[in-house]
Structure 1
Amino acid sequence: MATIQRTTQKVFYYARNVIRDVAPQAIFRRRLAGRLEQARLSDEAVRQRLNDYNKLHDTFSPSPDAVRIDSLPSTRSMYYYDLKEFARYFDAGLRLDLEFGDVIEVPKVPSFVKDRPIRADNDNAVLMKFNKFRHFYMPVDTVAFADKLPAVVWRGDLNNPLRTRFLDAVRDLPFCDAGSHKPNAPAKYSKPFLSIAQHLRYRYIVSLEGNDVATNLKWIMNSNSLCLMPPPTYETWFRESQLEANVHYVPLDPDFADLAEKISYFERHPAAAERIVLAANAHCRKFSNQRDEQAISLLVLYKYFVLSGQLEPYPELWRFIGG
């Protein structure tokens, strides 16, 4: 259920992007050289993230299905606007392959995606910060860990066997408030809807992957609550593959039989829980520098267009990218 503040933010998101779309696009293209020069002066962390999101090394040719920048599909409007925000700085005739929506396999050709499986051979999945209005909503949490309810909470759609297995495992645990708020959920799993603010009243919040990544992971890790989850199998711009068990989150066994033991431990050792919360918060802060976020987004696109033979590299910038 959207709050007035969230609805206002959504209206502003669309208004800002519509204005960008109707403005003369040549204005943005004239700014590209300056933006790339600024990006070249970024630090090592920016370079590492760029080459993590875009792991491509070899030259390639866009597929016959590649689309021009001025013909990007707009059916998924937030994906369209998130890509166009940075693609508009490049020549309108440049072509790219892309897959909007939840991606569970690595594309056969280098393509821009929101997410990809965490595995060694996922280079063709080039990550962009897609659907960021939904996935990178990280509200401020003002309630200290010690002041929260000493209990576990989870809500979500039962779109993954993992989630049903979790609910079966915790059904009889008195300290767990877990279930699905969806109308189609079986009665034994049904629970009332909880807002993010209501989730944040709890000390422990479980994050479970659904169709791909868990949408709630970012706002949990940005909060003062402790995140518990099985190790992630998909990653996005949030770099889930870089999260360390017992450093950024508390790992759970596939059968969730260890949940009660883990909660008991952290209730007896709250300082250990708070150390993990602080590390999770620090990971989230890496995505709060808008200058870096914009530089990386442009560089991910630039590297793709150079390797696809559509742009000649600027020598100094290319040296920065290559390290």
Structure 2
Amino acid sequence: MATISRTAARVFYYARNVARDVAPQALFRARLAGRLERARLSGEAARRRLNYYNKLQDGFAPSADAMRIGKLPFTPTMYYYDLKEFARYFDPGLLIDLEFGDVRNVPKVPSIVKDRPICADDKNAIIMKLDKFRHFQMPADAMSFADKLPSVVWRGDLNNPIRTRFLNAVRDLPFCDAGSHKPNAPPEYARPFLSISQHQRYRYIVSLEGNDVATNLKWIMNSKSLCMMPPPTYETWFAERQLEANVHYVPLAADFSNLEDHVAYFERNPAEAERIIAAANAYCRTFDDEQTEQTISLLVLYKYFVLSGQIKPDAEVWRYITG
């Protein structure tokens, strides 16, 4: 259920992106050199992040299925707008391989994606901040951990066996308010819809992956509730692989058998819960600076086009990227 503020933000998102699309695109391309000049002055943290999202080191050729920037697919629309926001700074004839939607496997050729499986050889999956209106919703939380309900909460679609396994594991635990608000949920799993602010009333919020990453993970970690989840197996721009168990979140066993013990421990040791919450909040602040986010996004694409042999690198910018 959309709130008034969420609806207003969505309207602004589309209005801004439509305006960018109808503006003369040459205006953006004329600004590329200046943006790259500022980008090369970014710090080491930004450089590490861009090379984490784009791990390519060797040259490659776009595939026969690569698309020209000027002909990117318009659907899903938010993926299009989020990629075009930065792709429009480059020549519209440049080729780009991409996979919109939930990516379950590493692409066979270097491709722009929203997410990738966490595995050893993932360099062909080049992460951009796509579908960010949905995935990077991280509202503030004014309620302290101590003032929250001493209970566990979870809501979501039953689109993954892990989620059904979780509901079966906690169904008899009196401190768990867990279920699915979706109309197609079986009666034994059905629970009423809860907004983010209603979730934030609970001390413990569970995050479970669905088709790929867990959409709720980012706003949970930005709250003053304690995030509990199995170790992630997919990652997005949020770099879920870099999250540390017992530092940024509380790890749950595959069968969720340790959830009850975890809750009992943190009820006895609230300072330990608040330590993890503080680290999670600090991790979320990594993504607060919009100028840095834009700089990294532009450089991820720039590195892609240089290594694909489509543009000649500026010596200073390339020196910054490669360190």
**TM superposition score normalised by structure 1:** 1.00
Match of 1:287 in 2: 287
Q: Residue 135 of structure 2 aligns with which residue?
A: 135
Q: Percent identity?
A: 75
CA distance in 2, matches of 1:40, 1:186: 54
Report the Cα distance in structure 1 between the residues aligned to 2:24 and 2:321, rounded to whole angstroms.
30
* SS of equivalent to 2:205: strand
Cα distance in 2 between the residues matched to 1:205 and 1:132: 22
- Report Cα offsets for 1:135-166 as digits up to 9, x if no partner: 00001101011000000000000000000000
| 1:3 paired to 2:3 | yes
For residue 119 of structure 1, what is the amino acid of its counterpart?
Answer: C
Q: 2:263 is matched by which residue type in structure 1?
A: I
Q: CA deviation at 1:120?
A: 1.1
- Residue 240 of structure 2 corresponds to residue 244 of structure 1: no
What is aligned with 1:223? 223
Alignment-derived partner of residue 187 in structure 2: 187
Identify the residue that residue 272 of structure 2 maps to in structure 1. Answer: 272
Where does residue 299 of structure 2 map in the other structure?
299
In 2: Cα distance, 1:319 partner to 1:22 partner: 35
Cα distance in structure 2, aligned partners of 1:153 and 1:262: 14
Per the TM alignment, residue 100 of structure 1 is displaced from its structure 2 partner at its CA by 0.3
Offset at 1:265? 0.2
1:318 aligns with 2:318: yes
Report the Cα offset of residue 98 of structure 1.
0.3
1:188 to partner: Cα distance: 0.7
1:84 matched to which residue of 2? Answer: 84
Note the C-alpha offset of 1:68: 0.5
Equivalent residue, structure 1, for 2:53: 53
- How far has the Cα of 1:75 moved from its partner? 1.4
The one-letter amino acid of 1:206's match is: V
Letter in 1 for 2:43: D
Residues of 2 paired with 1:18 and 1:275: CA distance?
43
In structure 1, the residue matched to 2:104 is 104
Equivalent residue for 1:178? 178
State the AA in 2 paired with 1:38: R
Distance 1:197 1:224 in 2: 11
Map of 2:22 onto structure 1: 22
Structure 2 unaligned regions, length at least 5: none
Hey, what's the Cα distance between the residues in 2 that align with 1:54 and 1:300?
Answer: 6
| 1:272 partner amino acid | E
> For residue 221 of structure 1, what is the amino acid of its counterpart?
M
Letter in 1 for 2:101: G
Task: Provide the rounded CA distance (Å) in 1 between the counterparts of 2:252 and 2:137.
Answer: 25
1:63 CA drift (Å): 0.5
1:276-303: CA deviation from partner (whole Å, max 9, x where unpaired): 0000000000001011100000000000
Q: CA deviation at 1:127?
A: 0.1
Whether 1:44 aligns to 2:44 is yes
Deviations 1:175-200 (A, max 9, x none): 00000011111111111111111000
Any runs of at least 4 consecutive aligned residues in structure 1 with deviations exceeding 6 A, and if so which?
A: none
Matches within 5 A, 1:134-213: 134-213=134-213
Take 2:52 and 2:118, find their aligned partners in 1: how far apart are those partners?
A: 12
> What secondary structure, in the 3-state scheme, does the structure 2 residue paired with 1:286 have?
helix
Q: In structure 2, how many angstroms separate the alpha carbons of the residues matched to 1:53 and 1:271?
A: 34
Q: Distance in 1 between matches of 2:242 and 2:108?
A: 24
Query: How far off its partner does 1:308 sit?
Result: 0.3
2-structure distance, mates of 1:109, 1:15 = 34
Give the whole-Å Cα distance in 2 for the aligned partners of 1:13 and 1:2. 15
Using the alignment, how far apart are the partners of 1:168 and 1:43 within structure 2? 47
Structure 1 equivalent of residue 309 of structure 2: 309
SS for the counterpart of 2:99 is: coil
How far apart are residue 316 of structure 1 and its match?
1.0
Aligned-partner SS, 2:107: coil
